[in-house]
Amino acid sequence: MQAARLALRQQRFLRRYAASSPSIEWPKPGRVGMIGIGQLGAAVTGNLIRAGLNPVLYDVKGESVAKQFLENGAIWAPSAKALAEQCDVIITGLPRPEHVSAAMGISEDGQVSSDGILAGLQPGSVWIEHSTTDFENTMRIREEIEKRGCKAVAAPVTGGMQILKVGKMVALVGADEETFQRVKPLISLSAPRIVRCGEFGHETVVKILTNMLCAVQDCAMGEAMMIAKKSGVDMKLLFDAVRISSGNSFCWETEFARVADGTYFPDFTAEMMAKDIELGQGLARKHGVPMLIHGQVAQIYEMCMAKYGRDSGSTIPVKLVEDACQTPLADEKLKSAFKDWTYTTEIVEGSYVIPHKNIENPYDE
């Protein structure tokens, strides 16, 4: 079901943006590769096609996952090694650290095989890591990249998949200044809002922490919404009141609608969220930080995945509260209010702002 939804969104994206071609001087068309055509990789690929870069694609799931992109100028590579051999820039967007290692051709015991990215790298190439992955694993891969006369850029993205698809994401970037300036126009196709995070690796820590905070909010919002529901508060009024209060958050503003439409799916799965919490717990153990709240949140996501499936949406903890109370939060009035809702983002005086679209806004002047 989620795969069908993703394919439909890919098709809509490509139809909308195929005619638009921002100018990129480097790399040349056919010289940038994307490994991993999941939600993140699909959105980045769409932006590369939009720029006329004819990206080279590879995914272990096979050519079928890239069908819409291949019909619009992308090129398929038979392996990660083959992709690296023909590209000046190799981008990865993969779910977990072990997937990134496997794409590189690095085994569990640290041996480098002859059929991964590392085996195909050409001197002077640049690896851009868009995945949210393990800090130490990223550092190890960087060492292998640089041994081969290439450069590494860690650039996890944040801000929501809907925003990534229209090229308005935020990138948290770690790289040396010369390499950063070289790849900045390419990264900006998907994430024109760039935060330099100092030393290589720090951007990964920041990204993991942002997702951990979102996970807490996803768990807390269901409880707050249910208290309001059982107290007789109008749910649309609750949404509008909280978003101009001290309790507001990005998750409240963008995921409330996913409760209203019953999907609980803000283009991010429960499994992906659980993975990021796990990565954060690893950092906490390393530095001796107690995880009293996030430990509980991790358990809630495990419960959700056991009950609703690992590919359920990351807002699914709200459903857990609904089921426990045997009370749905969304009625027909709320569903109607959010029927055509969408959003965009702006940065105003250094803060992320969510302009809402196609929904009644009581604060419009």
Which of 51, 12, 9, 18 lies closest to 32 in space, CA to CA? 51
Q: Give the pLDDT confidence score for residue 11 in this predicted structure.
A: 52
Looking at residue 162, what is its pLDDT?
Answer: 81
Count CB-CB contacts under 10 A for residue 75: 18
Longest dimension (CA), the chain: 65
Question: Taking the chain (365 residues) in consecutive chunks of 10 residues, what is each chunk's mean pLDDT?
Answer: 50 46 84 96 95 97 97 98 98 95 94 95 97 91 97 93 84 96 96 91 94 97 98 97 96 96 93 96 97 98 98 97 98 96 92 94 80
**Which residues touch 269 (CB under 8 Å, ≥6 apart)?**
2, 310, 311, 312, 313, 314
Buried b (16+ CB within 10 A) or exposed e, 196-219: ebeebebbbbebbebbbbbbbbbb
Separation CA 356–CA 345 (nearest Å): 9
Let me know: does 244 contact 210? Beta carbons within 8 Å: no
What pLDDT, on the 0 to 100 scale, is given for residue 4? 53
What distance lies between CA 64 and its chain's CA centroid?
22
pLDDT score for 217: 97
* E-strand stretches of the chain: 32-35, 56-58, 75-76, 89-92, 126-129, 151-154, 157-158, 170-173, 193-196, 342-343, 346-348, 351-353, 356-357
Q: Determine the pLDDT at residue 166.
A: 83
Phi-psi category of residue 350: left, alpha or beta, with phi > 0 → left and psi -120 to 50 → alpha: left
Residue 143 to residues 132, 146, 269: CA-CA distances in angstroms? 18, 5, 31
